[in-house]
Amino acid sequence: MKEKIFSSYTGALIAANVVAFVGVLVLMVSFGEARIVSWVALMPSMVLQGQNVWTFFTSMFMHAGFGHLFVNMISLMFIGGFVEKLIGKKRFLSLYFAGGLFAGLFFVLIALASGVDMNVYAVGASGAIFALGGLLAVLTPRLPVLVFFIIPMPMWAAMGFLMFGLWALSLGLGLPIGNTAHFGGLIVGLGYGFYLRKRFPRKTKMISRYFAR
Hey, which residues are catalytic here? 126, 182
Which residue, 161, 46, 65, 151, is CA-closest to 104?
Answer: 46
Q: Which residues lie closer than 8 Å to 14 by C-beta, 6 or more apart?
A: 5, 6, 73, 76, 77, 80
Q: Would you say the C-alpha torsion 92, 94, 99, 100 has a positive or negative sign?
A: positive
Please state, in angstroms and rounded to a whole number, the distance separating the CA atoms of residues 71 and 168.
19
Contact by Cβ (8 Å): 108, 160: no
